[in-house]
Amino acid sequence: MSREQRMINGRIVTGILLLALVIGGSFLSEKVARVQGSQRGEVVPVVQNDITVAYLDAGVIRQLSIQERQLEQNRDGSGSDNEVSLSFVLGSAGLVDYEYVQATGLGDSGECRIKRGEVEGIVLYTNSNGTLSMVNKSGGNQVMIKEVARLYAAD
């Protein structure tokens, strides 16, 4: 093997190693950000059958709110960019077959179980600190969970 071929092979190996380090670092940093966000309530996993099907954060809620309002032409306009119905969130995550949704709060925020028929009146709001609140709009805007940590859809 000539010297030029060894140099080219060395550059190829170095490039592949560099690429592997960059990709590995990206996956690691994403995992760390997801775990830290979950611990602070800024990233909310949506789980069904012990498989995480989606992650929610304030930006996702704002985007889903816009989409939901665009789909509902006859809405009274009272909604804001910071709220979206729980049924729309679950449908967007692909969850259509469930008996109830169990929402867990961050720390001492509590826990609640919502039957499939009760999901329509529930909305998720974004808080100023980047967390999500669950509010029962049909029950007089009663806050159910101050800071949602996890949503679990069960059969």
Residue 44 CB-density burial (10 A; 0-12 exposed, 13-18 middle, 19+ buried): buried
Query: Which pLDDT tens digit goes with each residue over 16-72?
Result: 999 998 998 888 877 776 666 555 557 888 899 888 888 888 888 888 888 888 887
| One domain, residues 99 and 83 | yes
The domain tally of the chain equals: 2
* pTM score, whole prediction: 0.70
Q: Are residues 143 and 93 part of one domain?
A: yes
Tell me, what's the pLDDT at 102? Answer: 92
Is the model's pLDDT at 93 over the cut of 60? yes
Q: Return the pLDDT at 16.
A: 92
- Structural domain for 35, as ranges: 1-40
Residue of 133, 149, 151 whose CA lies nearest to 43: 149
Confidence grade of residue 75 (pLDDT, cut at 50, 70, 90) = low
